[in-house]
Amino acid sequence: MKKMNRIERIETGIPGLNELTEGGIPSGTLNILAGHCGTGKSTFAMQFLYYGAKEKNEPGVYISLEEQPEEVLENFDRFNWDLEDLIKKKKLSIIKFELHKFDSLKQVIGDEINRIGAKRLVIDPFSLITAYFNNVYDTRKALSDLAREIRTFNCTTLAITDLKEGEQSFSSTGFEEFVVSGVISLDLILKKDSNSFIRTILIRKMARTNHSLKLVPLEIGSDGISLYPDAEVF
């Protein structure tokens, strides 16, 4: 007898992603969103929060480790997203966290999640946390502890990982991808014959999901990111 698939999944709001992931990301999981600069990671992450808050009544928290909330908002000016309205309605929260206070990060995230009843969380960039530690052991331990803690929040989480040009792994330490449930990889592929880049997405790992392993083209338009699961990359 065929087993029923009872895994609760959340729709990301990224058109085309459901088709690659059996209907969405498993609810409450921690997932890495990895990519080089310009691949659309922050846009993907904010679209995920925007859709949840706007369409699903699932409030979201955006923890920025680099930019002030105003700067984060400015980055998404070009999209047709009324983010400030969602902030006023306590459906969205953008927080700048100072990394030198790392020990209080879990507390800050937990408090903000409780304040607005968040179901979605973004940490941008998760990879910056590695800069706080002096050695590999401390980094791994801290990331592992943080990942465990984040899971207890029962929020579906996207942890953004910035990759250096030419880097082939999905995280700066080569470790994070093993402590998370999912790895979504965004990329820019150079087409030498046309001297242009193509944006792509690959679901590299997603626990409890029979996900696609196809490299899928994506576009960024005025409504955000759209994936084209039926299209091929040429």
Give me the residues that bind other proteins (CB under 8 A), please: 191, 193-194, 196, 198, 217, 219, 228, 230-234
Instruction: Tell the smallest beta-carbon distance from residue 231 to other proteins (Å).
Output: 5
Pick between residue 108 and residue 198 the one whose CB is nearest to other proteins: 198
Residue 148 CA, distance from chain mean position? 17
User: Residue with structure tokens 């691949």?
Assistant: 39
CB nearer to other proteins: give 103 or 232: 232
Count CB atoms within 10 A of the CB of residue 151: 16
- Tell me if 58 sits within 8 A of 88, measured CB to CB: no
Query: Any idea what the Cα angle at residue 20 is, between residues 18 and 180, rounded to 5°?
Result: 90
Shortest distance (Å) from residue 157 CB to other proteins: 30
* Angle, CA 145 vertex, CA 140 and CA 146 arms, to 5°: 100
User: At closest approach, how far in Å is the CB of 214 from other proteins?
Assistant: 13
Minimum CB distance to other proteins smaller for 142 or for 233: 233
Q: State in angstroms the smallest separation of the CB of 48 from other proteins.
A: 22
**How near is the Cβ of 194 to other proteins at its closest, in Å?**
3
Rank residues 35 and 217 by Cβ distance to other proteins and give the closer one. Answer: 217
Q: Which is nearer to other proteins, 95 or 233 (CB)?
A: 233
126 three-class SS? helix
Comparison of 22 and 219: residue with beta carbon closer to other proteins: 219
Q: Which amino acid is at 206?
A: M
How far, CA to CA in Å, does 233 sit from each of 77, 197, 200, 227? 29, 11, 8, 12
**Do residues 20 and 212 make contact, with C-beta atoms less than 8 angstroms apart?**
yes
Nearest distance from C-beta of residue 230 to other proteins, angstroms: 6
